[in-house]
Structure 1
Amino acid sequence: MIAFLTLCYFGLLAVLVWLKVLPNTLWTWLSTLAWMVLLFIVLFIPMQWGAPAGPARIMTYTVQIIPNVAGPVLEVPVEPNRPISKGDVLFTIDPTTYEAAVEAAQAQLNFQETRLKQYEQLASTAAGTKFQVEETAARVKQLTAELEGAEWNLKETTVRAPADGYVTYVALRPGQRVVTFPLQPAMTFIDTSNKIVGVHIQQIYQRHLERGQKVEIAFKTRPGRIYSGKVEAVFQVTHESQAVTGGTVPAAEIIQAEPFFVRIHLDDPDTNLPAGTVGTAAIYTNSAAMTHIIRKVMIRMESYMNYVIPWL
């Protein structure tokens, strides 16, 4: 941007010299250097905290699908990378043993309910004891709870999508046995119902950031378009600040100033923006407002450069 403004200034000098408004001397042309220094001091240094910029990325939640019951898989109707809605079936587990458990619990419950009625009638005629009634009533409650658990297990043989999204890399096939072990998920579900837009801002500018400040983002996947938003949160923690419990003394490492993570809320979120989309975000703080126009021009220039320069 400094080079662009300097070229504009140089072109203006050339016109003024050609019109003989300014003399064609060495000092006239050396004023270009003074112009560059002035731009750097007055505009570009304050712009770093008045409108800080940083890399942006769209992230989403990844859910490891681990069934609540174990058993052989009967059907996997879901297709990889195809959008599905919350509640759609991901896969089904053979329900035979769980159906049998429900039937057994229901039979025991029916039997104990019949016995309870009989004991209550006997107790009312003094032919039975109150203890038999109370014992059978407790058994009925226990079997009712066992039946509810068995029905819940049976319901969990159909594994459904926890949210809107899609499943990627579907390796699960009918006949495979799935387990409830946390370290062995059956598939990976990508939750697209809630995307996160995050920006990394260097620590030196963190003191100028506040919630609600305006943001503009130029994404690589949408060249020539600027997305507007607001600062939703400034995380007051970095990766290096974690104190992880362990059995060894922490090793001495070189301390570096990690950037802070800033969460952005887009004013008009584009649901077609895929997770992993990167770009550049500019945050317009309450400081050095005169530099905001320069940052606006720079981020728009970058947005159009995304048409031809894919790696920047």
Structure 2
Amino acid sequence: MTVALLILGAYAIFMWLVFYKFRWLKFNIAWGVVSFWVGFHVLFLLVVFMRFYTPYTIDGHVIRQTIQIAPRLPHPTVLEEVFVAQNQKVKKGDKLYLFDKTLYEAQLKEAEANLASARQNALILQQDIVLAQEALQEAQANAQYATDQVNRYTDLVPRGGAKQETLDKWTSQQTSANAQVAEAEADLKKAQLAADAQYDGVNAEVASAQAQVDQARYYVDQTTILAPEDGVIISQQARPGLVVGGFRIGAIAAFVADADPYFLATFYQEHLKFVEPGQPVEVALDIYPGQIFAGKVKSIWEGTGQGQIVPHGRVPEFLFMSPQGRFAVEIDLDEDPALKRYPAGAHGAAAIYTGGGGDWVAVLRRVNMRLYAWVNFIVPFDV
């Protein structure tokens, strides 16, 4: 818009010089129509060339990754200490918040006691196998002795060397001994099955108890919230006495990370016709009036929310007059690729130079960008 007004002003001055200052031509209705027609087409072509060969937007922002600081505690828990202040820089691993540990330390002790008991039970299961093996050996020995006695008396009774009653007694004992062998074998198998109940090579009861210990220790660790990486705490509203956990799902603070920021500018879709990654860019940030930052196009986000239909039970509505979505272009700034100087949300204008349309198009856009940058010294007018 600024460049269009400048062009109109320059053309008006030129017409004034021709018709009124130097009177090279005499102004009349015909020359008026011609002058208007020429001026309109010149302006129209300039605007079209600039829109497509040097796309421009005033909707650019510095974007920084944010992490929602949300306690992960299963029970209502009181916040005891806050180690960070509003807008404070922190390093990865710094303490941010400390919650009451009483309940979770008690649960950890209980889980550790259950683990010790499970390990003892696992040792007992091994001893049960040994006892079952000894009982089986004893039953097998008794059964073998009873069998030998039955065989002996079976030879003696027909020859009158022993009574039939004695043979019947040993026959009965043999049957009982064989039953004891079967019972001992079943007990041994049961003991082995109990000992073989394992998960990933560890006794199942011990593995279950260890999992409970790990879970309890995890929640003890979660009572202290540490900085996930280098950054700054924004919107720190938590104070000692705050109760979290249970059904609370919201965050208690926003953490803005230092790493991986980027500059994002949105453009109308048709203006990106000739834009490609690697093309030069100029950015004018409002927080640095009068300065122009050079950069390059990193990527084009070819998608908007209008291209997504969220699953729901209603038939989608398509409004004919709804405004089109703008595509975002990610830009790398040459001077400070890490964007350490720029806070999250810093606003500015951006222009992409595709190289088409001739050098004069780029010159006009560069003038436009510098006008924007210098006007930032007085805009907004809130003196």
Shorter-chain TM-score range:
0.7 to 0.9
The answer to whether the 8 A contact 2:300-2:327 is kept is yes
What residue is the counterpart of 2:352 in the other structure? 283
With over 3 angstroms needed to count, the CA separation of the structure-2 counterparts of 1:217 and 1:182, relative to structure 1, is farther
Cα 1:124–1:27 change in 2 (3 A) is: farther
| 1:130 corresponds to | 192
Of the candidates 255, 258, 262, which is equivalent to residue 329 of structure 2? 262
1:149 matched to 2:189? The reply is no
Could you say which residue in structure 1 is the equivalent of 2:162? none
Which protein is richer in helix relative to its size?
2
Q: Which amino acid aligns with 1:40?
A: L
Stretch of structure 1 that moved more, 246-255 or 200-209: 246-255
Question: In 2, are the aligned partners of 1:201 and 1:259 still within 8 Å (CA)?
Answer: yes
Match of 2:67 in 1: 63
Q: Is the 8 A contact 2:309 2:316 kept in 1?
A: no
Over residues 59-101 of structure 1, what are the superposed CA-to-partner deviations in whole Å (9 max), with x where a residue is unaligned? Answer: 2333332211141111111111111122222211111111112
- Report the Cα distance in structure 2 between the residues aligned to 1:173 and 1:9, rounded to whole angstroms: 64
1:54 and 2:57 correspond: yes
- Contact 1:2 1:36 (8 Å CA) reproduced: no
Query: Counterpart of 1:295?
Result: 365
Partner of 1:193: 259
Separation in structure 1 between the aligned mates of residue 102 and residue 348 of structure 2, nearest angstrom:
51
- Specify every segment of 5 or more residues in structure 1 that has no aligned partner in the other structure, as ranges: 17-22
| Alignment check: 8 A CA contact 1:66 1:180 kept | no
1:77 aligned residue (77, 80, 83): 83
Structure 2 CA distance for aligned equivalents of residues 229 and 185 of structure 1: 35
Aligned to 1:307: 377
Amino acid at match of 2:193: F
Q: Which moved more, 1:230-239 or 1:36-45?
A: 36-45
- Indicate if the aligned counterparts of 1:212 and 1:232 stay in contact, CA closer than 8 A: yes
Letter in 1 for 2:367: V
Q: Distance in 2 between matches of 1:24 and 1:102?
A: 96
State the partner residue of 2:165.
none
Residue 122 of structure 2: aligned partner: 116
Query: Which structure 2 residues correspond to residues 124-273 of structure 1 after superposition, within 5 A?
Result: 124=130, 126-127=133-134, 129-135=191-197, 137-179=203-245, 181=247, 183-251=249-317, 253=319, 254-267=321-334, 268-269=336-337, 270-273=339-342
Superposition TM-score, scaled by structure 1 size: 0.84
Q: Secondary structure at the match of 2:261?
A: strand
Query: Which has the larger Rg?
Result: 2
More displaced stretch, 272-281 vs 60-69: 60-69
Mapped to 2, the partners of 1:280 and 1:195 lie a distance apart of 17
Partners of 1:245 and 1:86 lie apart in 2 by 39
What count of residue pairs does the alignment treat as equivalent?
Answer: 306
One-letter amino acid of the counterpart of residue 377, structure 2: Y
1:244 and 1:26 map into 2 onto residues whose CA distance is 66
Q: What displacement does 1:217 show?
A: 0.4
Alignment deviations for residues 139-169 of structure 1 (CA, whole Å, 9 cap, x no partner): 1111111111111111111112233322233
Deviations 1:24-68 (A, max 9, x none): 324299899798557535544312111010121122333332211
The verdict on how the C-alpha distance between 1:27 and 1:86 changes in structure 2, with shifts beyond 3 A counting, is farther
Kindly state the Cα deviation for residue 264 of structure 1 after the two structures are TM-superposed.
Answer: 1.5
Is there any run of 5+ residues in structure 2 with no aligned partner, and where?
A: 135-187
Paired with 1:251 and 1:9, the residues of 2 have a C-alpha distance of 47
Do the aligned partners of 1:68 and 1:156 also contact (CA within 8 Å) in 2?
A: yes
One-letter code aligned to 2:369: I
Amino acid at match of 1:27: L
Native 8 Å contact 1:198 1:264 kept in 2: yes
**RMSD across aligned positions (CA):** 3.2
TM-score (norm 2): 0.70
Structure 1 counterpart of 2:23, which letter? Answer: T
